[in-house]
Structure formats: C-alpha cells, structure tokens
Chains A and B, each alone.
Chain A
C-alpha cells in the first residue's frame, strides 16, 4: 500500500481542484482579430456555456466569405461543459480527500482527457467553420480556407487572428501544472522512503 500524501500536497491538490470553479464564471478561451479598419480589434471570448465579445460584428464580416453565423444554441458542448467541470472539480477534491497518489493520478488523467477532448472539439468546429463555406458567398478566394488557429497566430485575408487561452484557460493549465508537480514530488518522496526502508 502506497503512503498517504503529505498534508501540504493534499491542500495544493484541493486548491487546484477548487480553482476549476473559476472556469464556470470566466472566459476559457479567446480569439482576437485585427485588421487595418478595425484598429480597436475584435474579440471572440468563449465561456463554458456561451460566446461573448464582438460576435455580431464577426458574423457580419464572415457572411462575405460564406462562413456560417455563430450562435450559442448551435453548440451542444455548451450544455454539457458545466457538468464536465463539476465532475473534474469533485474528482480533484475527492483525490485530495483520499490522499493517495493513485487517486491524484486518476484525476490527472481525467484532466488530460478533458483538455485533449476540448482542443480536438475546438479544432473540429474551427475546421468546419473554415472549410464549409456557402457556395453562394460573395467573395471566393481560390484555395482559401478560414479555419482559425488552434493556438497562436494566423493571417486570414485582411485579418490577423490570434487564438489563446483566456482567464479560465490559464487557471486550468495552472491547476494541471500544480497537480503534476505534486504528483512528481510525491512519487519521488515515496521512492526515497522505499529506498530508506531497503537500506534499513
């Protein structure tokens, strides 16, 4: 039986889990757009259940090139995301309560699966938006697709687009980082303890 984690580690895990609550109130991701005639910039902020920012303006611009308009109702993810966040939060708190490394490890796998799913899902939507264009669109550029970048920068016609985490996203990555650090720390600690036992 592996040893119980140190109290300090368990507090860190609990805090990292509770911090996920921030994802329910803060935007998780953002896409910034800039063009010569938009010096003030346009932004699309993605919350766990909705879009905010210059959604109408972006829809308006996108109709020239035949991109579909963006509406909250079109995303079933927005309905289930909150349960996923609740689950991860509870899972993390439970891992802290159990205080064993296997529990923490399972939570880490859960978090990892969540991130991979979210990124994959976003890529899917981005791909469809960027490629499935209205054939009657006014402006057609041969070979051009308008898939937004998954992470980082991309030029889309007259717009420069940046895709990056927002507050919620940074909190999520901070939580994962903390959990990983605790896991590594605890793993090394138990290895040392095993070694000590063997030396005795």
Chain B
C-alpha cells in the first residue's frame, strides 16, 4: 500500500520537474528568484548590536547543541552535551568525565535530536533547554545562565530515545519514549530470539521530573506500552493539559527490513497518554518497582565538578492493569511529527508517507473516549475511531510531511521532506494558504515559540538535510544548511541561508530578553568549593599520595604558580588542579602539558579544573596557557621534571609570585 503512494507520487514529481522550468523561463528556481530586494536589511545586525532571538539547534550526530543568533544566523556557541569536546576539556577533565557515565561505562558520543525549552504555562521561560541522546538513551538539561550541560539522566529500558525530550506545560515532566521496542526484565527475559518480537518485545514511555531548584532529574514513572516504534511527541496544553501525545509506527511489529515491513498498514497510531492519571496512580502506589538501572549525572557550579548517582529501579505503571492511561488514535501511514497547536485543541499527525495531514480534535477525542467509541483494541489499548476524533485533513499539502510548527495567528507550517518545501495552512479551515521551496529536503523546522502556547512568530527556520551547491564546495563532506524565512506577511519570504554544524534536527528560538541578562560572567572565587581549590598563590602546593601527585596550581595573568615542579617519577599519575584566580569577565586561562593523552583545560574565572597526566618519558616537560589571555600570554608557561622510577629526587615546587599581593 505504501509503495503505491510513492509510485503514484513519482509522476507528480516528474510533472513538476517539467512544469516548473516552463513557468520560470526555462530556468529552475534558485535563490536569486526566491529572494526579494530588502532581505539583506532584515537580517543585518550591525557590529556590536545583538540579535533578537537565541536559536538553540540540536547537533544531531555531533551529539551537541549549538546556539545561533537570529535573524543574523551568526553562531554564538557550541555547547558540548553528549559528545566529548577537547576544546573545552568536556569529557577530558576529571570534573566532567562523570557527566558521560552510563550503565555501559563512559560513552563519549551520542546523537542529539530534539531541543525543548523549560516552560511556564506552556511558554518557554528561559531557565533551561533539554536535549535528548538517541543512541544511548539519555536526556540532558542545559542551564541557560552558564550555557552548560548541568544534568544528564540515562533512560533505562529504552533504545533509541527519539520521542524526547518534550515537556509538559510547566515542565513538571520531560518525556522519553523508546523508538526500538525491546525484551525487558532480567537477563533470562532479555536473552530471547529476535523473531519472538510479538510476544517478548515491549515499548514504554518514561516521565522524568526535573527539579526547578537544583536542576537534578529523576524518573517519576515509566508506563508500559505495546511493542511498536515510538517516534515523536508533544504535550497537550490549555484544554488538553494533562495529556501527552506520541506518534508511533511499525504497528506491524516488524523486526526486519522495516522499510517495507513496517509500511504495510494504512494507519498507525497517535498514542494519547493521560499523564495526570498516571501521576495519580503513581501517588496511590499502584505502580511496581522494576529493574531499571540508570545513571543521573549532575554538574555543580559550587564544587565545579560532576557527580554520578546510580539508581537501580524505576516505578513501572502497567497499562494493562491500570485503566484509562493510554488510547490510540489511528493516523495514516507511519506518522512522524506529532504536534499540538497553541490552543491545545488540535493534534497534528504527519504521516510521512501520506498524501494528506490529519488534524485531530482534543474535544472529539474526549467525547469518543466517554462514549467508548472504539473500533477495537491493540495490545489492551482502546483504538478510537478515526472519523470520531478527526477535526479534518489538510488535502494535498505536499509530499513527505514531517513536522509542524505554529504562529500566533492560527496558521501552521509543515515541512515537506520529499517535495522540499514549507507549507503554510490554516489550522481551523485546513486550507493551504502559501508554500515556499527549501534548499534542499527540509527535515525539522522552527518558529520562535512554535510548539508553545504563545508563539512569538516572526520567522520560520528550515533545517535542511541536503546542502549540495548552497555554499562554496568543501569536498564530499558539507556543512548542513538552515534557511530563515520571514512569516510577518501573508507570503513566506526567504531571507537568509546559513550553515550549521552537526546535523540539526529540532530547534528552539526564544527572545534574547528571556536569557541575556541572566548570563553568568564569572564564578566567585570565595564560593569555590572544589576539594582541590587554591584560593590564592599562598595555598598552592604539591602533595604525593602513593603514585598519585596532586598539584594545587593557580593561574592569573600571566603566570602559573607553581611553575617549576620536580620530584615526579615515571609511573606517577599527575593531577594538575588548576584554579583560575581571575575575577574579571572573559579572562579564561587554558592549560596544556606536553604528551597529555587527553586534551587541554579551559578554566573560567573562579573555576578549578583538573587534568590527569601520566608521564611517558623521563625529562623536563613544558606546560603553558593555551588561551591568549594577555600581552604576556606567551610568557605564561612552566616546567615539570620527570625522573626515573625509584629515583630519590624530593618533591619540590617554587612559590615565587610575580605579585606578592595575590
């Protein structure tokens, strides 16, 4: 059936291929014809002036989150999350290593897909951003005062954490749904033949609670679900507050060649989760604790280090025992995007192989549930009748609908991967009112606040999957390409192309005012609670503990103290605990030592960071500052002497300071 759709689409594509050149004077559409005269002035942010929006963009296969300014498209920062970043020492310094710990050990990479803001009353509040790790299921919380990853929690009993990290309207919960269903339980239950999928493989959705004060996260409960693939999700809000919606595909329950085998049924499902009910069941003690070992890693800005907590079990709510938790709404053709409009009334499912976009009505869904208007059951879950829950269908929107964002005027913007365009349609009337081509093959898209209760609107950004000829060529591997469109007028208007790093999936844009004035400039040295801090050069020292040598070191423009160290021997593990004594904005110092098998440290004012160094040869080894800090940066260097194992050179260090006052 699905193959038929693609095949019928092909002549359409061919026809478009012929018609377009004819319509445009025998030349294919390109940027020249797409951009109007005053686009440049609309994206020009003069030197020294600020952008209007922060744009938080997932890094995809780079496992990170990058931050751009809008409308300029200027890249402001790349925040390391799930992947090591030697530039910032992320995953290399002793302090940050625990952030990447999982039940599989230290994992230096992940695939980060979706960015979601912390919300108050359904609107981004500027406190945090969340991002999911897809491959080794995790959710990270980014603190928007430091633009750093504060917490990473691992999701147990999950594989392919894709429908994540969307949050409830007041960020009571952040969700995770397993893309791959799995055999779960003890070792015996997990070690089963793959072809026993239907009987042994289960899905689930997890609700994680982030603590507003500390930023720590904990798993509140995990709801069992049938063994299908969960894809994307979004929260209900307004009238639908208390509900969460997940798209799912592979209701065929295929386990091989999904390309074909999971595309057989006409309709898959949008799963509606009554999370208020689940919360109530959890409070009433109706769940049970099941195996679910996971790590919760948290970085403290007081001790300047991360610690890991290991949790053995999770609270499980069984959807077969506890009624009224889950309902299925049939949705055509392997739905991908699952988006809820600002009023909370309409749920948009994007069947990526469908030739239409179904829009469901929350009121109709509630009425259908009350009237038990079911067409059947799927693994113990009532399946509502498609016609009973449908608000309507957007007819002929384009090919390959993926995701939908909303503006503040009742319009929706859907990305069309196959026909490479953004389609604007009216949520009430379901009429298509405008369409623009994207270059090329758009995946996600983003309107500022576009998945919240009060979108700021103004722009839509396309995150394209294919770049090709958009920029100067750079060999076979190209950057990704984002495109900024104005949505202020009745017609969408292309303003700007800008390259992005990694492979952006979802993104968020929120007004700079919500964030910029809360930005931390430095850490107060007197508040530094790092166990190896030196709050002044007088506190520096070198301590031997067996074969471990701890160097309490300080840096300030433009010297390290101590900067001559002797008495280290082959076989020692040396820990440079470097405190940056600066108390001035934007004066970080770097630290690198010859032959270190890890990376540099980049130490912000008032911080302490630790580099582990295992000498590999006898001799005098240099270390130096890697961040051009001052006119005397090149003088900011020192030596450490490494003697043969068993030599009796005493441990000594100099304490001479360039400035007696410090």
Tell me which residues across on chain A come within 8 A of B583, comparing CB atoms: 56-57
Taken together as a complex, chains A and B put the C-alpha atoms of A125 and B630 apart, in Å, by 28
Nearest B-chain residue to A37, judged by Cβ:
B586
Given A138-B632, A139-B631: A63 touches B584 (CB 8 Å cut-off): no
Given A40-B585, A69-B659: A60 touches B557 (CB 8 Å cut-off): yes
Taken together as a complex, chains A and B put the C-alpha atoms of A54 and B659 apart, in Å, by 18
Whether B582 is near chain A, meaning CB under 8 Å from some CB there, is yes
Taken together as a complex, chains A and B put the C-alpha atoms of A60 and B630 apart, in Å, by 11
Given A40-B585, A56-B583, A57-B584: A64 touches B661 (CB 8 Å cut-off): no
Whether A71 is near chain B, meaning CB under 8 Å from some CB there, is yes
| Chain B interface residues toward A at CB < 8 A | 556-558, 582-585, 630-632, 635, 658-659, 661
12 more A-B residue pairs beyond the given contacts A57-B584, A64-B632, A69-B659, with a C-beta to C-beta distance below 8 A: A56-B583, A60-B556, A60-B582, A60-B584, A63-B659, A64-B630, A64-B631, A69-B661, A71-B661, A138-B558, A138-B635, A139-B631
Whether A163 is near chain B, meaning CB under 8 Å from some CB there, is no
- Fill in one digit per residue for A153-187: 1 if any B CB lies within 8 Å of its CB, else 0: 00000000000000000000000000000000000
Nearest A-chain residue to B584, judged by Cβ:
A57
Tell me which residues across on chain A come within 8 A of B661, comparing CB atoms: 59, 69, 71
Give the shortest distance, in Å, between A22 (CB) and chain B (any CB). 30
Taken together as a complex, chains A and B put the C-alpha atoms of A71 and B659 apart, in Å, by 13
Tell me which residues across on chain B come within 8 A of A138, comparing CB atoms: 558, 631-632, 635
Taken together as a complex, chains A and B put the C-alpha atoms of A181 and B657 apart, in Å, by 56
Give the shortest distance, in Å, between A45 (CB) and chain B (any CB). 17
Q: Could you jot down 15 A-B contacts, CB within 8 Å?
A: A54-B584, A56-B583, A56-B584, A57-B583, A57-B584, A59-B661, A60-B556, A60-B584, A63-B659, A64-B631, A69-B659, A71-B661, A138-B558, A138-B632, A139-B631
Taken together as a complex, chains A and B put the C-alpha atoms of A192 and B194 apart, in Å, by 116
Taken together as a complex, chains A and B put the C-alpha atoms of A138 and B559 apart, in Å, by 12
Of B556, B583, B635, B661, most buried by chain A (CB within 10 Å of CB) is B661
Taken together as a complex, chains A and B put the C-alpha atoms of A56 and B605 apart, in Å, by 13
Taken together as a complex, chains A and B put the C-alpha atoms of A138 and B557 apart, in Å, by 12
**A46-97: which have CB < 8 Å to B?**
54, 56-57, 59-60, 63-64, 69, 71
Give the shortest distance, in Å, between A58 (CB) and chain B (any CB). 10
Tell me which residues across on chain B come within 8 A of A59, comparing CB atoms: 661
Is the Cβ of B631 less than 8 Å from the Cβ of A63?
no
Give the shortest distance, in Å, between B633 (CB) and chain A (any CB). 12
Nearest B-chain residue to A61, judged by Cβ:
B557
Given A138-B632, A139-B631: A63 touches B658 (CB 8 Å cut-off): yes
Tell me which residues across on chain B come within 8 A of A57, comparing CB atoms: 583-584
Give the shortest distance, in Å, between A43 (CB) and chain B (any CB). 13
Nearest B-chain residue to A136, judged by Cβ:
B658
Tell me which residues across on chain A come within 8 A of B659, comparing CB atoms: 63, 69
Nearest A-chain residue to B525, judged by Cβ:
A56
Taken together as a complex, chains A and B put the C-alpha atoms of A63 and B660 apart, in Å, by 10
Tell me which residues across on chain A come within 8 A of B630, comparing CB atoms: 64
Give the shortest distance, in Å, between B516 (CB) and chain A (any CB). 14
Taken together as a complex, chains A and B put the C-alpha atoms of A40 and B521 apart, in Å, by 13
Tell me which residues across on chain A come within 8 A of B556, comparing CB atoms: 60
Taken together as a complex, chains A and B put the C-alpha atoms of A54 and B557 apart, in Å, by 16
Nearest B-chain residue to A63, judged by Cβ:
B659
Taken together as a complex, chains A and B put the C-alpha atoms of A57 and B556 apart, in Å, by 11
What 3 A-B pairs are tightest by C-beta distance, nearest first? A69-B661, A57-B584, A63-B659
Nearest B-chain residue to A62, judged by Cβ:
B659
Tell me which residues across on chain A come within 8 A of B632, comparing CB atoms: 64, 138
Taken together as a complex, chains A and B put the C-alpha atoms of A69 and B660 apart, in Å, by 9
Taken together as a complex, chains A and B put the C-alpha atoms of A66 and B300 apart, in Å, by 38
Tell me which residues across on chain A come within 8 A of B582, comparing CB atoms: 60
Nearest B-chain residue to A139, judged by Cβ:
B631
Tell me which residues across on chain B come within 8 A of A63, comparing CB atoms: 658-659
Taken together as a complex, chains A and B put the C-alpha atoms of A71 and B662 apart, in Å, by 11
Tell me which residues across on chain B come within 8 A of A54, comparing CB atoms: 584
Nearest A-chain residue to B635, judged by Cβ:
A138
Tell me which residues across on chain A come within 8 A of B584, comparing CB atoms: 54, 56-57, 60
Give the shortest distance, in Å, between A2 (CB) and chain B (any CB). 56
Give the shortest distance, in Å, between A52 (CB) and chain B (any CB). 14
Nearest B-chain residue to A137, judged by Cβ:
B658
Give the shortest distance, in Å, between A62 (CB) and chain B (any CB). 10
Taken together as a complex, chains A and B put the C-alpha atoms of A56 and B659 apart, in Å, by 12
Give the shortest distance, in Å, between B80 (CB) and chain A (any CB). 27
Taken together as a complex, chains A and B put the C-alpha atoms of A139 and B632 apart, in Å, by 9
Taken together as a complex, chains A and B put the C-alpha atoms of A171 and B659 apart, in Å, by 38
Give the shortest distance, in Å, between B634 (CB) and chain A (any CB). 11
Give the shortest distance, in Å, between B226 (CB) and chain A (any CB). 58
Tell me which residues across on chain B come within 8 A of A60, comparing CB atoms: 556-557, 582, 584
